[in-house]
Amino acid sequence: MKHKKFIIGILVMMVITGLFSCKKTFDGLLNNPNYPSPSTADVDLYLNGIQQNFVTFWSNASDDGAQLTRQLLWTGPFYRNGYTPASFDGMWTTAYTGVIKNAEAMIPLAQSQKKYIQSGIARVLEAYTFGTLVDDFGDVPFGEANLGSANTNPKVDPGAMTYAGVQTLLDSAISDLKKTGAATGPANDLYYAGNATNWITLAKTLKLKYYMQVRLVDQTAMASIQALLAENNLINTAAQDFVFKYGTNITAPDSRHPHYAIDYVNSGGVGEYLGNYFIWTVAAQKYGGNLRLTNGDPRLRYYFYRQSTNHAWANQQSCPCFSSSVFSTTPNFPPWYPAVPSKTPFCVVGNGYMGRDHGDNSGAPPDGNFRTAWGIYPAGGQFDANQAATVTISMGGQGAGIAPIWLSSFTSFVKAEAALTMGITSQGTARSLLINGVSASIDKVVGFPATVNYTVPANYIPTMTAIASYDSLVASNYDTATTDDSRLNIVMTEYYIAAWGNGLETYNNYRLTGKPNNMQPAKTTADPGFFMRSFFYPSVFVNRNSNAPAQKAPGDAVQKVFWDNNPDNFIN
């Protein structure tokens, strides 16, 4: 009996020892390799996620701005309910969990490994993200934005405070990017191929952008603007442009430009509407409202692709509004349209150009095969050589477009704006800077097809004479303007045209300057209300955060961001 007890005791001890031994052996396997801890994470893998989430966030913000500034269709028809809080959930989540959270996790790790270029890049993209959140929503979480489980209900900070934080982030990025003894730049830098110098130039350009945006409410910004312009380490050439390059993969993953993916399908017909006003501004505005296909804006055929070169297809079923347009036999603007010059677009623009009017929320007729699509620039679509062919899944540049986040032409227009509004002319006169911006934009657009291995038919490439003629027309219009306000309108209209593909800047510029000053009114039988000066807070924020401010009331679409002190009825 004693022997039995002894044997049982030994067995129990062996089991217990085995259990402890197993625990010791398997403890290391409790870490999920799919979710590495920050201490073992790869800096460059973090960087991949930050960069790709950033362009997704930026693209969403750009589209919202483009809709409100008539580059793309905004259905409306009332500003107070043209969007819902849920419209911004994806953008908000991508910003805070895709860009900011990953940047904050990566930066200390990169610092410990002397990967200062990576940490500098992360700071630049984080700064741009926070700045854009303020531009779109106003007061947002900043100081408490990344405390994790320590604070799951972060409070918002005043927009001006976040903007100050943005400038500090950019200064920190510049400091990182200048450090000596840094590890080799990242091979997976999707924007500047690891070139720290270009990232420093971008950071300083963004500092100028944000200082210019607060010029109406912060008189101290002028000194910073003057200093940045005097130094002039800014994006001044196309080689420094801050763009994201898309690919041509259709699946696994779809790497094409988002608007190519929407417009160029085999099921027949373009999937979205461009804004009639924007098409008209490019094609006809400078020519008395008469559409100019030849010797007009050299970018026209690059920007837009027509599936039809006329409107013979237009009837009551395919295009119900055509009978009221200036192209019908009995032109008659509808009652909702206020008194406007007879050449202002309504329904269609002419010569086959067909988008939609601002605020048109009527149902879509069978017009998919006639809508104007994004062209070769910047979406990698089809160049318009009068083909009049229905879109397919493999036309033009096959989606190898770009996201034009900041271009050298934008810098020239901002310099011209500073010269006109603040008298800062260290980089030239407003007139010369305006023409520099126009020339840089045209060069960028005309040269773009070659970068995606697309050949434009020789007889459609704008000649140097045609380009010079356009420059001269812009200069002449500027020279005949009699006030700085009208000159600023010319500068900002050219900026608006050059910013095709970047609705974020057009939305900011429209709220800051009120230009272009002849935007097409919203289509509604009643007053559309005040223009949306900021967006509703996302539902994922106000519904899940106990410290979130009260949601903006549906009738309070006029609520402005801190740098916008213009009157409520400043823009329409």
Task: Please give the sequence-ordered ranges of beta strands (E in DSSP) within 442-535, or none if there are none.
Answer: none
Burial of 123 (0-12, 13-18, 19+ CB in 10 A): buried
Residue 459 is predicted with a pLDDT of: 96
Q: Identify the bridge partners of residue 391 per DSSP, sorted by sequence position.
A: none
Query: Which range is least confidently modeled, 27-36, 151-160, 215-224, 350-359?
Result: 27-36
What is the pLDDT at residue 153? Answer: 93
Residue 23 has pLDDT above 60, yes or no: no
Q: Where are the alpha helices (DSSP H) in 183-308?
A: 196-213, 221-231, 258-263, 276-283, 300-303
pLDDT score recorded for residue 306: 97
What pLDDT score was predicted for residue 150?
80
Cα end-to-end distance, the chain, whole Å: 98
Which residues have C-beta within 8 Å of that of residue 220, sequence separation ≥ 6? none
User: Which CATH number, 3.30.470.20, 1.20.120.840, 3.90.1150.10, 3.40.1050.10, labels domain 235-519?
Assistant: 1.20.120.840
Give the number of other CB atoms < 10 A from CB of residue 78: 17
| Mean per-residue pLDDT, 258-277 | 91
Residue 35, pLDDT score: 55
Least confident of 24-28, 299-303, 350-354: 24-28
pLDDT of 4 > 50? The answer is no
Quote the pLDDT of residue 241: 98
**pLDDT tens-digit readout, 155-184:** 999 999 999 999 999 999 999 999 988 778
Q: What is the pLDDT of residue 228?
A: 98
Tell me what the mean pLDDT of segment 448-464 comes to. 97
Mean pLDDT of the chain: 91
Please tell me the predicted confidence (pLDDT) of residue 261: 96
pLDDT of residue 8 exceeding 50: no
How is residue 544 written in tokens? 């899940």
User: Any alpha helices (H) in 69-115, and if so which ranges?
Assistant: 89-93, 101-112
Domain borders along the chain are: 41-234+532-572, 235-519
Q: How confident is the model at residue 38, as a pLDDT?
A: 58
pLDDT in tens, 74-103: 998 999 888 999 999 999 999 999 999 999
pLDDT surpassing 90 at residue 323? no
- pLDDT digits 0-9 by tens, 467-510: 999 999 999 999 999 999 999 999 999 999 999 999 999 999 99
Q: 6-15, 200-209, 352-361: which range is least confident on average?
A: 6-15
**Mean pLDDT, rounded, for 451-468:** 97
3-state SS class at 402: strand
Topology annotation, domain 41-234+532-572: 1.25.40
Q: What is the pLDDT of residue 330?
A: 74
Q: What pLDDT sits at residue 26?
A: 47
Q: Give 223 or 15, the one with higher predicted confidence.
A: 223
Given a cut of 80, is residue 357 above it in pLDDT? Answer: yes
The mean pLDDT value for 515-520 works out to 94
Q: Where are the alpha helices (DSSP H) in 113-265?
A: 116-137, 159-178, 196-213, 221-231, 258-263
The b/e string for 322-345 (b: 16+ C-beta within 10 A; e otherwise) is bbbbbbeeeeebeeeeeeeeeebb
Beta strands (DSSP E) in 318-376 are: 373-374
Task: Decide if pLDDT at 117 tops 90.
Answer: yes
Find the mean pLDDT for residues 243-256.
95
Tell me the whole-structure pTM to 2 decimals: 0.92
Residue with tokens 């697309």: 454
Give the pLDDT of residue 557: 67
More confident residue, 329 or 154: 154
Fold match between domain 41-234+532-572 and domain 235-519:
no
